[in-house]
Structure 1
């Protein structure tokens, strides 16, 4: 059975489909009274991610950092209630920002929240409209996952299963530069350019919503050291290490902090190869062998600069790129479509619930 904590939310869209930790059969018996039925509404109630909302699509148990709602089917539609909670996110954050260092929404305040409940038929119609957006978004995410899995299979075929002993070894810095973001902490501003850190690297996207603004001066200063360009790869070096993001956009309005930057834009022949290498068994082994830290794991810039590749002949390499490029183009197109659908859904949400 799923044991859901706020840490799991980074992997969710609308539904909690999995969790890093599970409850054993013995635990299920012990905590049977707090098992949440399918389609409960789960709201994080502490920390920087406070106010995030998901539904569980199977029975689950959560830790104490999550407040849960079990809808009464005679009064509330599950999906409508989910979107209602998503729609009052600013209110949830307001309740949690009572001057404490760590935002927290206590159970008493949560239980006293009020939402407007139209007749059930109206709830169902509203939920159906909003769910149609999320259904399409989930479908596109699944398609991206499949495309990347196929690309990873092709990577293994070309560079692992059919590797040759006479391939040339190359240190990564012989192919392009490897840098990292600023180590400073620029002051937060009300507007400006976004500062991206490791925690903002998600699957096929960057979490701009939870990143803060910095001044134009700080933005330009950071970019003198580590400017991100189309075709570069970002790599999380601190905390949850090994998260990757391939920047395929030609409009880049952010700076980076404590993030590894593979400048594959300088040698785009290696763009897909390096991205897939980092997400392959090679990359997993590299992280395992080079990570340091106890309370917070990290890899160093020197570690990243020490990576060695076995490089095949140009014919094999070019064939690989021809095969995977359409997949990455489609992933990027899907990701753009996801962003557009999310924006349109959020506009409708605001009109309904604000």
Structure 2
């Protein structure tokens, strides 16, 4: 550790680009606008807000971003961080863009520092505010950072980046596999649908299963070995397979509630609040009463069922109702009409796409293993507990 040295952030950062206090005129398309809402889990997600190209020069007067600059959210939420990968982007409020002095700090290392427990602690401990917790630019500049020599910084960043690159590759592969299956579904059951196929309720093809929640005050019902999905476990980032749940229940909890275990490859869909988020179970799991379980009707065509729901989901969500929060019920499903292909056609289709989903599931388990390895290494590398040979 004698080679490591502590600096203030202002000593190693060449550029602090801060657009707080300004609000750009937004358009439906144009230059992507990086907002705090799309900086998540070390990445910049696809932009959903833009500014007009003609406004770019007049807006970006406080500094232009460069590739591998670090963007850091300063409030709502505080501490999300990512690297800029496209130079032609606009910067919004609630983020500060950092560019390190090349002779002192590696930008990729800086990103991982702020993702580490130590980096997050330094930010959170300096946050202020009554309604929204945030950090001021002047305070951020005084944040301490412990740095190894530049060559070791790059070696550390290289190890962590290699893991993240592999994770990203597996995510992209899964998107491609799923897109191929979706295209085949549309070809078979939309473009080439037979006129002789009857139309009926989606409940002619699927079965809904209600969930349940063991009593939270009974400790023996919880922390068992049965995965239990709540609505928060189903996110837009995990539309296909869910590998594990944030909470587990016990056999006693299962037997003393309306919770049920669904088999592997069943679906779970959120039915209250943010309705219509759904996933495939990578292993048998139970789920809360705010969700529905979905299994194929009298068959094992789980992946056809997933693609059918994916095709019909927007219509299903548009039929949600409720005065306080949106809800979908058995009636919502019953009123959703779809084409009813013959069972042998569905089974033949299932056989043609099952390989895609088997590969996707294997990739999801590998992603989880790589994420665990990265998250284990990150604090050890950032503290110098584990050193990287150069």
Superposition TM-score, scaled by structure 2 size: 0.74
CA drift of 1:283 comes to: 2.8
SS of aligned partner of 2:258: helix
Q: Which residue in the other structure is 1:128 paired with? A: 158
Among 144, 162, 170, the residue aligned to 2:174: 144
CA drift of 1:44 comes to: 3.0
Among 71, 74, 81, the residue aligned to 1:53: 81
| Alignment of structure 1 residues 230-309 onto 2, 5 Å | 230-237=264-271, 241-250=275-284, 252=285, 255-256=287-288, 258-264=290-296, 267-280=298-311, 282-287=312-317, 289-292=318-321, 298-301=326-329, 302-309=331-338
CA drift of 1:339 comes to: 0.7
How many matched pairs? 342
| Alignment of structure 1 residues 19-98 onto 2, 5 Å | 19-34=47-62, 35-47=64-76, 50-59=78-87, 60-88=89-117, 90-91=120-121, 94-95=124-125
Q: Distance in 1 between matches of 2:37 and 2:278?
A: 18
RMSD: 3.6
Q: Which runs of 5+ in 1 are unaligned?
A: none
SS of aligned partner of 1:116: strand
| Alignment of structure 1 residues 59-208 onto 2, 5 Å | 59=87, 60-88=89-117, 90-91=120-121, 94-95=124-125, 103-179=133-209, 181=211, 192=223, 196-198=230-232, 200-201=234-235, 202-203=237-238, 204-206=240-242
Q: Which residue in the other structure is 2:340 paired with? A: 311
CA deviations 1:303-343 (Å, max 9, x no partner) are 23433332222332122101110000000001111111111
Q: Distance in 2 between matches of 1:39 and 1:171?
A: 51
Question: Which structure has more strand as a fraction of its residues?
Answer: 2
- Asked if the contact 1:184–1:257 (Cα under 8 Å) also holds between the matched residues in 2, the reply is no
Superposition TM-score, scaled by structure 1 size: 0.80
CA drift of 1:41 comes to: 1.7
Q: Which runs of 5+ in 2 are unaligned?
A: 1-30, 384-390
Q: Does 1:16 align with 2:16?
A: no
Q: Distance in 2 between matches of 1:225 and 1:129?
A: 43
State the 4+ residue runs in structure 1 displaced beyond 6 angstroms.
96-99
Q: Could you say which structure has the larger radius of gyration?
A: 2
Report which stretch shifted further, 128-137 or 31-40.
31-40
